[in-house]
Amino acid sequence: MPSHRTPARLLDRLTSLELIVVTGKGGVGKTSLSAALGNLLTAAGRTVLLLETDPRESLHRLLDVPPSGGEIVDAGRRLFLQNLQPRTVLDDLVEERLKVGLLTRRVLASPVYQHFAEGAPGLKEAAILGRALRIVEGHGPRRLRKVDTVILDAPATGHGVTLLQAPLLVAEVIDSGPVHRMARDISAFLSDARRSGIVIATLAEEMPVNETLQLVELLDARLARRPEAIVVNGLYPPVTGTGPEAATDDPALALWRERRCINDEQLGRLRDAWTGPLAELPLLPIDPGPALAGALARHLGEGLGATAAPEDP
Amino acid sequence: MSTAGRRLVIVVGSGGVGKTTIAAAMGVGSALRGEDTLVMTFDPSLRLRDALGVAPGGEADEVEVALEAPGRLQAGLLDARRTFDALVHRHAPDPASRDRILANRFYDHLAGSLAGVLEYMAVERLYEASREAPDRRIVLDTPPTRQALDFLGAPERIVAFLDSGALKIALKPWFDTDGHLRPTARLGALGRSAEAFLDRMVGLDLLRDMAEFFQAFGPLFDGFRERALEVRELLRSPDTVFVLVSGPGPERVADTLFFARKLAEEGYHLGPVVVNRLHPEPGPHAQAPPEVLRLLSWLGERDRRGAEELRGLLAGSHPLATIPLLPGEPADLEGLRDVAGLLREQGVE
């Protein structure tokens, strides 16, 4: 089956989205992919907010800015960064709804609220997605009024689908009232392919590929959505098989060949099961920082068709 | 502090560092040394599953591993929902209340997604397993979460919740037989508008389901609290040791030290630190395209630097073992035996 979209069209599409959720298993390079996507979209003229929810911040290092600590950080060139804890977003929401200071404090301090906020299925996840929706609709903090796209570096905990399904779950459990309407709106936003999209980060190794294929299936089954792209991170350089390296038994070289072989095998599995856009990013000898984010953005751009490869005249 | 002689070995670390493999290898090593051992894992790869002989949704909680060793090796998959169901079955006072809990839609969502439940169920299962066969050694793999310490706090969180009064409020008879909110009935017209307001905000159906869920659960909570306290005790017992698995490279050093410090602060006994998946450095005569050599040297140096830095910072307080990146993740018994050998050589066992 042919790919549904050509690469150049894919980049156009990503550029037109209001929310991109970058998801994947822990340790597969979601954060560096988020930063690279941020670079790519700002280069295409969008104003972008990178939203991180992991309390142990790491996105700032890729942008060479101080950690956010909950504040909005201007990373220059139309790129913003914010680390937001789901609980904070939820507390803000209560404050906004109740409006009365004393009442708000009492609600926030009550054990019932504490446990409800921590435990109610999907509530925290829905709150984060809700925040993203408000920002792109221009109702966020003043400094973020001009943001065109929010890139959400999804939490590594749990399955990507748990996050994306959260608003549906909330809308189902709370079946009327403003909370229900809010959850329903977020849910509609997430199912609207013109407004939001999902990018899956993975490695070409067995477990990450298993989880990726599972996620694709679940997204289809539960949300009727297809990811915009699967991005394979950290690929070892291809082995030509004809050079002098083929003969050496140096352990590092042997390992490279074997690892690349696993990469190829797993890329094959992905391609057999996934006919949509697939971008490959190399393992690069660069420490995490702006240089890495920039280099990955260039590779990603090529993979997604940003810089036109030399074409036939 | 090595893990030898400890009855419980808990393997912790960030997601994607190879905890499951290390836990499986430690189980194999332990059986090879002649100890009866149970390995409990969360999410093994298909091949590791095959090697251990565990299948998801299988009938038995534990299976025998076909390892030729002086000790017996068993393996089990941790399944939160299943443990939770078993708990309900055991503690429910009668079949009617059991069925009421299992059929409640809150339970349905809760069992899978309530914060801490998965983690709590893991420690609950651990407690059970340790009681079933007191002479057996247990190696526990922990949930795949970046906040690897979350699960350890689960018993505390359950106890805090039970003691917080939230439950007492929840267990009050909120609804009368007509399905109206009791406390609002006494308030007359004001009460009716309060009820209408709540209905508008979150829906009375939801509140009714919640109240019913907590009431149905009421009789279970006492047993819960006691067990949670015992589990807390077990995790801090001198018979329990933690093995911290770290990814390679200087980037991970901060994470690893953070975990090590946290564990100590919380009163757990941290044993060895295992730095997993180090790239070897190419030798002086290695021949490959220059950009490949540059990458491999960079990776090898980065990983060596990370391990050295960590070793310096731990300053002999915990044994540090390094496991090289292997061509493929070890997923058969032979591969696990090799990793177990590397761990033993470095004083982990």
Closest of B194, B198, B103 to residue A180, by C-alpha: B198
Label residue A119 by pLDDT band (50, 70, 90).
Answer: low
| pLDDT of amino acid A248 | 66
B231 domain residue, yes or no: yes
Using 50, 70 and 90 to split pLDDT, how confident is the model at A312? very low
> Residue B216 above 50 pLDDT?
yes
CATH number of the A7-304 domain: 3.40.50.300
Reported as a pLDDT band with limits 50, 70 and 90, residue A3 is very low
Q: Tell me the CATH number at B175.
A: 3.40.50.300
pLDDT of residue B196: 64
Provide the pLDDT for residue A20. Answer: 97
B116–A contact, CB cutoff 8 A: yes
Range with the lowest mean pLDDT among A111-115, A287-291, B119-123? A111-115
Q: How confident is the model at residue B195 (pLDDT cuts 50, 70, 90)?
A: low
- In this prediction, the answer to ipTM > 0.90 reads no
* pLDDT of res. B178: 66
- Cβ contacts of A117 within 8 Å, gap of 6 or more: A87, A90, A91, A123, A124
Q: Which amino acid would we find at residue B343?
A: L
Q: Identify the weakest region by mean pLDDT among B116-120, B230-234, B236-240, B287-291.
A: B116-120
- The mean per-residue pLDDT over the stretch A68-92 comes to 90
| A313 — pLDDT class (breaks 50, 70, 90) | very low
Nearest CA in chain B to A260: B327
Is residue B137 in a domain?
yes
Please report which confidence band the pLDDT of residue A35 belongs to, taking 50, 70 and 90 as the band edges.
very high
Helix (H, G, I), strand (E, B) or coil at B18: coil
As a whole number, the mean pLDDT across chain B is 80
Determine, for residues B166 and A28 on separate chains, whether the beta-carbon distance falls below 8 Å.
no
Q: For position A125, what pLDDT does the model report?
A: 83
Give the pLDDT of residue A179.
Answer: 76
Which member of B16, B285, B296 has the closest CB to residue A27?
Answer: B16
- Count Cβ neighbours within 10 Å for each residue of B205-237 and write b for 16 or more, e otherwise: ebbebbbbbbbbbeebbeebbebbeebbebbee
Residues of B in contact with A175 (CB under 8 A): 203, 205-206
Name, in order, each residue with C-beta under 8 angstroms of B235's C-beta and a sequence gap of 6 or more. B10, B123, B152, B155, B268
Q: Is residue B2 part of a domain?
A: no
CA angle B47, B49, B53 (to 5 degrees): 120
Residues on chain A touching B279 (C-beta within 8 angstroms): 252, 255
Residue of A144, A138, A28 lying closest to A80 (CA atoms): A144
Each residue's pLDDT tens digit, B287-337? 889 999 999 999 999 999 999 999 999 888 888 999 999 877 787 899 999
The pLDDT value recorded for residue A309 is: 37
> B101: domain range?
8-345
Structural domain includes residue B269: yes
Using one digit for the tens of pLDDT, what is the confidence trace for B28-64?
999 999 999 999 887 777 777 777 887 665 556 788 8
Residue from A256, A258, A264, A283 to probe the interface with B (highest B Cβ count within 10 Å): A256
Nearest neighbour of A252 by CB, restricted to B201, B282, B328: B282
- Residue B205 CA to residue B54 CA, distance in Å, equals 41
Of A156, A256, A285, the CB nearest to B294: A285
CB within 8 Å: B279 and A243: no
- For B:245-274, CB contacts with A below 8 A are 247, 251, 255, 258
Number of Cβ within 10 Å of residue A172's Cβ equals 17
pLDDT at A310 over 80: no
Q: How many domains does chain B have?
A: 1
pLDDT of residue B308: 94
Average pLDDT, stretch A67-96?
Answer: 88
Give me the DSSP letters along B179-237: S-BHHHHTTHHHHHHHHHHHHHHT-HHHHHHHHHHHHHHHHHHHHHHHHHHHHHHHHHS
Restricting to B residues 320-339, those with a Cβ less than 8 Å away from any Cβ of A are 325-329
pLDDT at B169 over 70: no
pLDDT at A23 over 60: yes
Do residues B282 and B296 make contact, with C-beta atoms less than 8 angstroms apart? yes
Residue position matching structure tokens 């909680």: B61
The answer, yes or no, to whether residue B108 has pLDDT greater than 80, is no
Cβ distance of A27 and B247 shorter than 8 Å: yes
Beta carbons of A312 and A264 less than 8 angstroms apart = no
Establish if B1 belongs to a structural domain: no
CA–CA distance, B337 with B343 (Å, rounded to integer): 10
Give the Å distances, CA to CA, from B337 to B22, B35, B90: 11, 15, 38
Confidence band of A1 (pLDDT split at 50, 70, 90): very low
The amino acid at residue B342 is: L
Q: Would B3 be classed as within a structural domain?
A: no
Inform me whether the pLDDT recorded for A307 exceeds 50: no
